């Protein structure tokens, strides 16, 4: 078995068939599909068992709800393939997706190959495309673990696992990148990410709460990563977007206090990034993201975060 495709499933009855049909329509055929039901409350398990009964290369695991991290780790444990691909059950892939990634990783004897991503709406209309370049920062541009292929032996050798916490993909990818130089980003874009406004990720990140502690994630990353210029820039990008996304639905006081807490931790651990978002080292970052980071940093330097929070926060 060359490739194992791991698909965690949670309440995906509306999207799972399209996802599965895209995988079964691949130009590459030497793969297994591991479908793991993560305690779905809808008709997902019946769809999964239908495919399992119809195709011998499909394995279905039915378990209680434990989250995407635990579910992906289970998939990694039982995978028989030499290479692993993760797909979210909301999403779908182009017919040549698996073949393209497989050829790249085997031909060049790599540990990780990373491709771009298309954001699509419910009508299949492409809303945004992220195409990767060849700079080192390109590997950090797309945070999802689903746009890449991993050599299974590499993951096992370094005991790489998904952290059972929110934003686990950022931790997993960053640690994986730190363990090898055998990484390649390619300009190919064949992964279609469905913009699902009702997804658990979108709803769970609304508001700053004690249930989600960004500094726990940062602490885990700091335990394993050298503070290179790109890594510290990653911390900066993540905390700014976390504050802007989650903080939008918090009170201004909560936003201000969380910002102070994060900035204090970053400073104490010598992880302050001096890299400009317009530096050539991060030229692959989207212009919109560069502008957001630049403006937020200007607000920090001008001590205008408090005023910004009062205008920005909705609660």
CA distance 68 to 169: 10
Which pair of tokens denotes residue 106?
A: 């085997």
pLDDT, residue 124, reads 84
- Residue 305 confidence (pLDDT): 98
Query: Structural domains in the chain?
Result: 3-199 (3.90.550.10), 205-312 (no CATH)
For range 254-270, the mean pLDDT: 98
- What is the number of other CB atoms lying within 10 angstroms of the CB of residue 68? 21
Instruction: Report yes or no on whether pTM surpasses 0.75.
Output: yes
Q: What are the pLDDT digits (tens) for 77-108?
A: 999 999 999 999 999 999 999 999 999 999 99
Contact 202, 196 (CB under 8 A): yes
Rounded to the nearest 5°, which phi and psi values hold at 266?
A: -60, -40
User: pLDDT tier at 292 (50, 70, 90 boundaries)?
Assistant: very high
Q: Which residue has the tokens 């998939």?
A: 75
Q: What are the tens digits of pLDDT across the range 121-131?
A: 988 899 999 99
Q: How far apart are CA 176 and CA 230, in angstroms?
A: 14
Task: Kindly list the distances between the CA atom of residue 257 and the CA atoms of 11, 74, 209, 264, in Å, as whole numbers in the listed order.
Answer: 35, 37, 12, 11
How much of the chain, in percent, has pLDDT values that exceed 90? 92
Q: Locate tokens 């297994």: which residue?
A: 32
Q: Is the pLDDT of residue 120 over 80?
A: yes
Distances (CA, A) of 20 to 1, 88, 217: 19, 10, 32
- Distance, C-alpha 167 to centroid of its chain: 7
pLDDT-derived band at 288, boundaries 50, 70, 90? very high
Nearest to 131 by CA among 23, 19, 285, 277: 285
Q: What is the mean pLDDT of the chain?
A: 95
Q: What is the pLDDT of residue 264?
A: 98
- pLDDT-derived band at 147 (thresholds 50, 70, 90) equals very high
**pLDDT of 176:** 98
Give the separation between CA 171 and CA 50, rounded to whole angstroms: 35
Mean per-residue pLDDT, 229-239: 98
As given in the structure block, the two tokens for residue 70 are 């635990």
Span 228-246, mean pLDDT?
97
Q: What is the pLDDT of residues 194-215, one digit of tens each?
A: 987 655 444 445 688 877 899 9
Quick: pLDDT tens for 169-193: 999 999 999 999 999 999 999 999 9
Give the model confidence (pLDDT) of 56-78 as tens digits: 999 999 999 999 999 999 999 99
């Amino acid at each position: 078995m060359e490739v194992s495709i791991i698909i965690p499933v949670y309440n995906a009855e509306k999207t799972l068939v399209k996802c599965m049909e895209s995988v079964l329509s691949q130009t590459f055929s030497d793969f297994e599909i591991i479908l793991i039901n993560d305690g779905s409350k809808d008709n997902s398990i019946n769809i999964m068992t239908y495919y399992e009964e119809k195709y011998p290369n499909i394995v279905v695991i039915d378990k209680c709800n434990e989250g995407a991290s635990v579910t992906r780790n289970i998939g990694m444990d039982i995978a028989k393939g030499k290479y692993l691909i993760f797909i979210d059950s909301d999403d779908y892939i182009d017919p040549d997706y698996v073949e393209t990634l497989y050829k790249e990783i085997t031909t060049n004897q790599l540990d990780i190959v990373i491709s771009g991503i298309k954001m699509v709406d419910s009508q299949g209309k492409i809303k945004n495309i992220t195409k990767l370049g060849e700079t080192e920062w390109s590997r950090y541009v797309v945070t999802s673990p689903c746009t890449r292929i991993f050599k299974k032996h590499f993951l096992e050798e370094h005991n790489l696992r998904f952290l059972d916490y929110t934003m686990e993909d950022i931790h997993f990818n960053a640690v994986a990148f730190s363990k090898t130089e055998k990484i390649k980003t390619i300009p190919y874009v064949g992964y279609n990410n469905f913009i699902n406004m009702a997804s658990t990720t979108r709803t769970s990140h609304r508001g700053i709460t004690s249930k989600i502690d960004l500094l726990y994630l940062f602490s885990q990353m700091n335990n394993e990563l050298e503070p290179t210029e790109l890594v510290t820039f990653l911390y900066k990008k993540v905390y700014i977007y976390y504050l802007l996304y989650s903080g939008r639905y918090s009170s201004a006081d909560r936003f201000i206090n969380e910002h102070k807490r994060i900035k204090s931790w970053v400073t104490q651990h010598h992880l302050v990034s001096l890299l400009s978002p317009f530096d050539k080292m991060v030229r692959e970052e989207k212009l919109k993201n560069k502008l957001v980071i630049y403006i937020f940093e200007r607000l920090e330097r001008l001590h205008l975060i408090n005023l910004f929070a009062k205008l920005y926060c909705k609660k």
